[in-house]
Amino acid sequence: MTPKIARYLADNQPATPCLILDVDRMEDNFRAIRRALPLARVYYAVKANPARPILERLVKLESSFDAASFEEIAACMEAGAAPAAISYGNTVKKVSAIRAAHAAGVTMFAFDSAEELEKLAEHAPGARVYCRILVGNEGADWPLSRKFGTTVELARDLMTRAAGMGLDPYGLSFHVGSQQTATATYEAAIGKVGMLFTDLKDAGVNVRMVNLGGGFPIRYRDEVPGIDAFGDAIMHAMTECFGNALPEMVIEPGRSVVGSAGLVCAEVVLVSRRDPADPVRWVYLDIGRFGGLAETEGEAIKYQFTTEHDGGETGPVALAGPTCDGADILYERSNYRLPLALRSGDQVQIRAAGAYVTTYASQSFNGFAPLAEHYI
């Protein structure tokens, strides 16, 4: 928790569940990423947290933006971003959204299929396009594999045809999966995409950019390598691949920009012991899978919890949300322990919850309103 968040909590005691996000801490994270990879242009992945105060601060910092929908593009522009600083990075776009983005002045678009490339040629003529390649996601707690990206062979074919279709064959991209803890996965992806880049260049295609995606991890319950380890590994692999003829580099961090800047405050609704002989207590919070903690699906993202009883004796717990849905369980198998003194009404804080929480909250399943948001 940052001192600013601690002060805000003490002064305001906001109703729970809520997110409190320290925008200065977000700026520090952004600067650290930029320092770790000074040759890469940073396109903030808007989906991680599209709140206006975040976008406005990033505009001030001269960030660019990776948007997944026309709505996200509009949000960036309302926050002051120039259309030239926005990449439409979703490989799955409605024609109406492509047309709206093109009309708004966005010139950079992703694709990973023949049909999407044809849609772009027709509805965003002249656009700079980049092809997403399927790469390994080993080491990612929240993988994205299979759904996006194409083979090197199809990418070569599509990139070769793009210029003839009136598009600018600008670059290649990949994404190694989110909360990616293995630097080697970036290195392997760069090797794969770098070879294709060189082949295309040799074949006369005017390809200029490599987009390394996001995925940089943050500390939840377990320690992860720092951003500098990823910066070093990436620059090492890029230099191996391209020597001193480095292409333009793009990164699209989301989680690593906003995650550690946010704290979710929740309340214990119930502590229940099903059987006196069972050491495991069920702890129900006022936020769960449908309240924004969607990334606990499969117990993939393991948040860190703090309570006012920390330091006292602990026991094993299962953690769940407040709704009547059986899927609304956060953790049953991940060996969480919480203080034995924990009771209903106690506050629980969920650390590093600034990314992928607010927009994942359901509208009002079971009548529960989405969590409140405080940007300070």
Ligand X SMILES: *Cc1c(COP(=O)(O)O)cnc(C)c1O
269 vs 59, 100, 121, 200, 284, CA distance in Å?
Answer: 40, 45, 54, 58, 5
Q: Provide the minimum distance between the beta carbon of 45 and ligand X in the complex, in angstroms, as a whole number.
A: 3
Report, in this order, helix, strand and coil percent for the chain, each rounded to 5.
Answer: 35, 25, 40
The residue among 213 and 247 lying less far from ligand X, judged by its C-beta, is 213
Contact flag: residue 47 with ligand X (CB under 6 A): yes
Contact flag: residue 254 with ligand X (CB under 6 A): yes
The residue among 213 and 292 lying less far from ligand X, judged by its C-beta, is 213
Contact flag: residue 252 with ligand X (CB under 6 A): yes
Contact flag: residue 36 with ligand X (CB under 6 A): no
Q: Provide the minimum distance between the beta carbon of 359 and ligand X in the complex, in angstroms, as a whole number.
A: 12
Q: Exactly one of 139, 194, 253, 321 binds ligand X (CB under 6 A); which one?
A: 253
Chain residues 298-357 in contact with ligand X, contact rule CB under 6 A: none
**Contact yes or no for 230/16 (Cβ under 8 A):** no
- What six digits make up the tokens of 13? 């005691």
Q: Could you give the CA distance from residue 59 to residue 62 in angstroms, rounded to a whole number?
A: 5
Size of the site for ligand X (CB under 6 A): 16
Burial of 81 (0-12, 13-18, 19+ CB in 10 A): buried
The residue among 107 and 178 lying less far from ligand X, judged by its C-beta, is 178
Chain residues 88-107 in contact with ligand X, contact rule CB under 6 A: 89
Q: Pattern 155-184, binding to ligand X, x per CB under 6 A?
A: --------------------x--x------
Cite the beta strand spans of 47-189 per DSSP E: 64-67, 86-88, 108-111, 128-132, 140-142, 168-173, 178-180
- How many other C-beta atoms lie within 10 A of the C-beta of residue 75? 18
Q: Which residues would be at the binding site for ligand X (CB under 6 A)? A: 45, 47-48, 66, 89, 175, 178, 213-216, 252-256
